[in-house]
Amino acid sequence: MFTLEIDGTAVAVINGTEEVAKDLFTCDGFKDDIRAMTSEGRPLWNGTSALKVRAATEEEIEIFEDAVAEDDGDEDFETDPRHLAATGEEQDDTEEDGEDEADIVFLVDIDEEEARKPS
């Protein structure tokens, strides 16, 4: 598993290979998503800070595994548009034996979309 770190903060963990992690965490679509997502009212990424991909720590792996286990069987996790956008997946009910699938778990609290909309 690999972690995306921004300005010294572990932001997300992915259960793919290092190549998959680097490809996903640095693709334009994911960058757009993390620029738009906020945590405690601040964007996850300012658009200029380095995006560091590194091996996940034991603690980060445990958080990932707990989150996946908690959401196992909860269809809202897989169909949440933010999750789909973050993983680059399209909603498709016909999965092919789990090929090339990677899950992402955010390690920071993501603000709800309604809270991000201006009043």
Better-scored residue on pLDDT, 116 or 18: 18
Question: Rounded to an integer, what distance in angstroms lies between the CA atom of residue 22 and that of residue 69?
Answer: 24
Q: What is the pLDDT of residue 96?
A: 45
Contacts of residue 93, Cβ cutoff 8 Å, sequence gap at least 6: none
Please count the CA atoms within 13 angstroms of the CA of 48 that sit on its side-chain side: 0
Are the C-beta atoms of residues 43 and 108 closer than 8 Å to each other?
Answer: no
Domain that holds residue 63: 2-90+101-108
The answer on pLDDT for 87 being more than 70 is no
Q: Is 8 contained in some domain?
A: yes
Q: Beta 9-14 vs 104-106: how paired, if at all?
A: antiparallel
Q: What is the pLDDT of residue 74?
A: 55
67 pLDDT band (50/70/90 cuts)? Answer: very high
Q: Is 27 contained in some domain?
A: yes
Question: Rounded to an integer, what distance in angstroms lies between the CA atom of residue 24 and that of residue 87?
Answer: 7
Q: How many domains does the chain have?
A: 1
Question: Rounded to an integer, what distance in angstroms lies between the CA atom of residue 40 and that of residue 9?
Answer: 14
